[in-house]
Amino acid sequence: MATVDAALVFVNQNLRQLLPCDRIAALARQVGHRWRRRKLGPDATIVLLVMQLLRGNASLAEARAHSGHAVSVSALAKARQRLPLALLQQLSAWLIEQFIGTVVAADVSPPARVLLVDAGNYYTPDTPQLRRRYRQPRQKQRGGDYPQLRTLCVFDLHSGLMLQQHDFASDRSESPQLRKVLDRLGLRRGDVLVFDRGFVSYANIALLIERGVHVVARLARNLHARRGSRRTRAARLGKNDALVCWRKPPRGRGNRAAANPPTLWRRLPERLSLRQITLAAADSKGSRCRRITLITTLSDARTHPAAQLAQWYRRRWEIETNFRHLKSTLKLEFLRTKSVNNVRRELLLRMIAYNLVRVVMLKATARRQSDAGRISFADACRWLLLSPMEGVSLLKLLINPARQRRGRVRKLKYRGKNYRLLTTRPARQKKAA
């Protein structure tokens, strides 16, 4: 009879060192999880499932092959269902705490942490439970499409680690979700949150100020300070740099009022003192805009000059690169599990797998004294997976050239297959006589 060690005999030692089985077992006992002595305990199950995700979201049969065919596919699926969500959350937090200190931040000025926030979409299997929970985006509500879920993700700017994620229905806007999950995002006083204009609202900024969290965000054109509006200029700090005053808007009606409960709206201050900066967009062909306007709570122009805030916002695009690594490099755009609890387990396992690759990139950065973003994500993934990479120095990992972000036409060149889209739900198949 195969043991746990035998089930992991074909697993790369590099992965087992970063994800030790004894630590997983200790965290399982800490959250009160009990299990019998069997082939697939929580440690072996998590390691095999992480390998399955790093293999490009392969099937459970791939994970079974990594165990040396010591277990069956159904046994692995049942072992995944037995994993407590609290264990996966604790393991993800432990992994971040162990390696977040290895970041050599190029920007040493206060505040210490600069965080990127954005939402991403994933497809789920078409089951009644997932369709009721996650639904479809409003612009794609037709019978033949797959359900989609959205995740609100928080990434560390300097390390690229995913710190938190929150799943919600795909027909809901991300802006109200931000204030619903502020207590779960692990924000600290003095952090800087960088996000796009979709998250900018009076309530979001006021609640972040209340927690001592700073904001750097792009401002939509209809929210610029103007005479006769609720947003007016208060003082000039420099060229295209001014203090502005925002007055509290009405609570509104319909969906807007539902997103702002009366108790929350009464708690918000009547005025906000913010800083508005207008700067030129990066010089590149194909750029869709020439000037962008930022809003921030960092009002001191001496300690936080406009150039520094502009650099932070320009690096906001790195969160889109992180989503590309998840969806394209690791092929994790489609989830495989068919229940809400298993979807949340899969999301946590994806977060652990992604952060493991990031940890390898950080370790390689510490040895090379280079930018972590230039280490090849795909090559770091190979270092974790391939047996010939065991014992290979991190100095051998590929370094990508420093690339400029270029504007590209948002059109598809690949024509795809000559099949029409399914726009209605297929009819139920009749049983054969």
Question: Residue 370 has which token pair?
Answer: 């280079």
Q: Tell me the mean pLDDT in the region 35-64.
A: 88
Q: Are residues 21 and 82 in the same domain?
A: yes
* Domain end (from 307, 322, 337): 322
Q: Are residues 27 and 170 in the same domain?
A: no
Q: What is the largest CA-CA distance in the chain?
A: 81
pLDDT value of residue 228? 81
Q: Tell me the mean pLDDT in the region 270-294.
A: 79
DSSP state of 71: S
Q: Are residues 238 and 387 in the same domain?
A: no
Instruction: Determine phi and psi for 120, rounding to 5 degrees.
Output: -130, 160
The verdict on residue 160 lying in a domain is yes
Q: Are residues 220 and 250 in the same domain?
A: yes
The verdict on residue 330 lying in a domain is no
pLDDT surpassing 50 at residue 105: no
pTM as predicted: 0.88
Spatial distance between the Cα atoms of 48 and 65, rounded to a whole number of angstroms: 10
Q: Are residues 163 and 277 in the same domain?
A: yes
Element (H, E) at 168: strand 162-169
pLDDT value of residue 2? 41
pLDDT value of residue 424? 73
pLDDT surpassing 90 at residue 343: yes
Q: Are residues 89 and 125 in the same domain?
A: no
- DSSP letters spanning 232-293: EEEEEEETTEEEEEEEPPP--SHHHHHHS-HHHHHHS-SEEEEEEEEEEPP--TT-S-SEEE
Q: Are residues 195 and 128 in the same domain?
A: yes
Q: Are residues 89 and 126 in the same domain?
A: no
% of the chain exceeding 70 in pLDDT: 87
Query: Tell me: the pLDDT tens digits for 373-417?
Result: 888 999 999 888 877 677 788 888 888 887 666 656 667 777 777
pLDDT surpassing 90 at residue 125: yes
Spatial distance between the Cα atoms of 90 and 97, rounded to a whole number of angstroms: 10
Query: Tell me: the pLDDT tens digits for 67-81?
Result: 777 788 999 999 999
Confidence of residue 188 (pLDDT cuts 50, 70, 90): confident
Spatial distance between the Cα atoms of 282 and 260, rounded to a whole number of angstroms: 36
Query: Tell me: the pLDDT tens digits for 86-98?
Result: 999 999 999 998 8
The verdict on residue 424 lying in a domain is no
* Domain end (from 302, 322, 342): 322
- Mean pLDDT highest for which of 9-13, 28-32, 376-380, 403-407? 28-32
Spatial distance between the Cα atoms of 58 and 73, rounded to a whole number of angstroms: 13
Question: CB–CB of 326/151 below 8 Å?
Answer: no
- Block residue for tokens 């406009």: 306
Q: Tell me the mean pLDDT in the region 11-31.
A: 88
Residue 200 Cα distances to 176, 206, 218, 223, 338, angstroms: 10, 10, 8, 9, 34
pLDDT value of residue 255? 65
The verdict on residue 41 lying in a domain is yes
Instruction: Determine phi and psi for 193, rounding to 5 degrees.
Output: -105, 125
Q: Please, what is the average pLDDT of the chain?
A: 85
Q: Are residues 220 and 252 in the same domain?
A: yes
200: which residues sit within 8 A by CB, 6+ positions away? 175, 217, 218, 219, 220, 223, 295
Question: CB–CB of 360/383 below 8 Å?
Answer: yes
Q: Tell me the mean pLDDT in the region 341-360.
A: 95
Q: Which domain holds residue 377?
A: 4-93+351-396
Q: Are residues 257 and 299 in the same domain?
A: yes
Q: Tell me the mean pLDDT in the region 210-234.
A: 90
Q: Are residues 176 and 241 in the same domain?
A: yes
The verdict on residue 148 lying in a domain is yes
Query: Tell me: the pLDDT tens digits for 244-280?
Result: 999 998 887 666 777 788 888 889 999 999 999 998 8
Q: Tell me the mean pLDDT in the region 127-143.
A: 81
The verdict on residue 427 lying in a domain is no
Confidence of residue 39 (pLDDT cuts 50, 70, 90): confident
pLDDT surpassing 80 at residue 33: yes
Q: What total of structural domains would you count in the chain?
A: 2
Cis before 111 (ω within 30)? yes
Q: Tell me the mean pLDDT in the region 287-299.
A: 84
40: which residues sit within 8 A by CB, 6+ positions away? 4, 7, 48, 71, 75, 76, 79
Q: Are residues 137 and 184 in the same domain?
A: yes
Question: If you compute the radius of gyration of the chain from its CA atoms, what whole number of angstroms results?
Answer: 24
The verdict on residue 35 lying in a domain is yes
Confidence of residue 151 (pLDDT cuts 50, 70, 90): very high
The verdict on residue 430 lying in a domain is no
pLDDT value of residue 183? 83
